Amino acid sequence: MTWQELETQCRGCLQCELGQTRTNLVFGVGNPEAEVLFIGEGPGEQEDLKGEPFVGRSGQLLDQYLAAVDLDRRKNIYIANMVKCRPPGNRDPKPEEQDRCMVWLKQQVALMQPKIIVCLGRISAQRIISPEFRVTKEHGQFFEANGILRMGTFHPAALLRNPRQKPDALEDFLALQRKIGEICGRTYE
């Protein structure tokens, strides 16, 4: 299956009740041939309206961190969410909704074959790295599983609520930049 075929299939998905209330499905944004995949939890109001992950203030903050380490959501990374449709009223996605939707993310990972996955926020990190993952203690550390390095860092919305964590987040992105240089043999420019 090609990336385009996967996206077309996903866009028609009604496998859970979130499909009934979405404005736009948020499949992801970026370069599916990139070596780094960022994964968030799910779309909020702005993301649902625009059909793109991490827009609005938290998206702008994320873009600033990306730019600081020569990454760009339109060029050399891909950004996706665990859940593709917005839960109404910004409630948390139910476990069964997460389970159904993760099938799409797994197919994205299988096609993309990223070398590094960066989890944005606790929910994503606990699903992708470890159920016991604690962002405040383990952010910026790399864990290997199935040939993919995984790192968790702060969700940009959490950084907007708690700016004291911004220097730690920047360190995580700098560690990511170094890791890209190590394992991909080059830096992104």
Tell me the sheet residues that pair with 153: 120
* Nearest partner of 109 among 8, 6, 5, 26, judged by Cα: 6
Within positions 43 to 72, which residues make up the interface with ligand SF4, using CB under 6 A? Answer: none
Smallest distance from ligand SF4 to CB 180, Å: 29
Q: Are 169 and 135 in contact (CB under 8 A)?
A: no
* Nearest partner of 124 among 146, 166, 156, judged by Cα: 156
Kindly tell me which of 12 and 185 has the beta carbon lying closer to ligand SF4: 12
151 in contact with ligand SF4 (CB under 6 A) = no
19 in contact with ligand SF4 (CB under 6 A) = yes
39 in contact with ligand SF4 (CB under 6 A) = no
14 in contact with ligand SF4 (CB under 6 A) = yes
Q: Are 78 and 112 in contact (CB under 8 A)?
A: yes
Q: Residue 103 CA to chain centroid, in angstroms?
A: 15
* Nearest partner of 106 among 132, 84, 131, judged by Cα: 84
Q: Tokens standing for 172? A: 């995580």
Residue nearest to ligand SF4 (CB): 19
Task: Considering only the stretches 11-19, 61-69, 114-122, 153-161, report the one whose residues sit in contact with ligand SF4 under the rule CB under 6 A.
Answer: 11-19
Site string for ligand SF4, 96-135 (x = CB under 6 A): -x--xx--x-------------------------------
Kindly tell me which of 68 and 103 has the beta carbon lying closer to ligand SF4: 103
